Amino acid sequence: GNCMTWLMYGAFKGDMAVIVTNVLGVSLASFYMVTYLSNCPFPIRDELKQRIALVLGGDGLLFFYVFFVAASGQEDILGVVCNGLSIFMFGSQLSQLNRVRELRNTSPLSLPLSVMALLTSSAWVIYGSIEGDVWIVFPNFIGSILTIATLALFVIYPRGQK
């Protein structure tokens, strides 16, 4: 997933801020998945296990290729993958746009998640700028814009109004 690819990126570059942040992210995501898997209905559990295996397999292939096969361009390969996953993640709340417009309120969206996404993406833009790392700046800049667009929905369609 997203944190796993950023962990690989941080490990490749030797960037401790990226490593520590994403070790925490991978750990929390793993805890959440194990907790959910142990409590969800059986049919969903099987499908979710298949999806987790697919993501872990993809991460494993990426790791093997970058660290053992590719002779050059590893940072760019990881950067492109990390950027794609990050932008997809930031845009995921916008998938509820039609539902928000249909309901004429933002009940399908999480305001705390949106606020935290803006704060973290902005912090990563600042960090990436200081480090001169375009692979960190770009997806987080796009993420900030997408999150601002999501937050604008809370102004246009306040919660509870119809």
pLDDT reported for residue 162: 53
Confidence (pTM): 0.86
Distances in whole angstroms, Cα of residue 153 to Cα of each of 25, 39, 162 = 27, 33, 14
In sequence order, what are the residues at sequence separation of 6 or more whose Cβ sits closer than 8 angstroms to the Cβ of residue 7? 18, 19, 22, 23, 25, 26
Q: Would you give per-residue pLDDT tens digits along the chain (162 residues)?
A: 899 999 999 999 999 999 999 999 999 999 999 999 899 888 888 888 899 999 999 999 999 999 999 889 999 999 999 999 999 988 888 888 888 989 999 998 999 999 999 999 999 999 999 999 999 999 999 999 999 999 999 999 987 655
Please report which helix (H) or strand (E) contains residue 98, including its range.
helix 97-103
Cα angle at 36 between 32 and 40, to 5 degrees?
175
pLDDT reported for residue 160: 67
Nearest to 33 by CA among 5, 59, 8, 55: 55
pLDDT reported for residue 159: 79
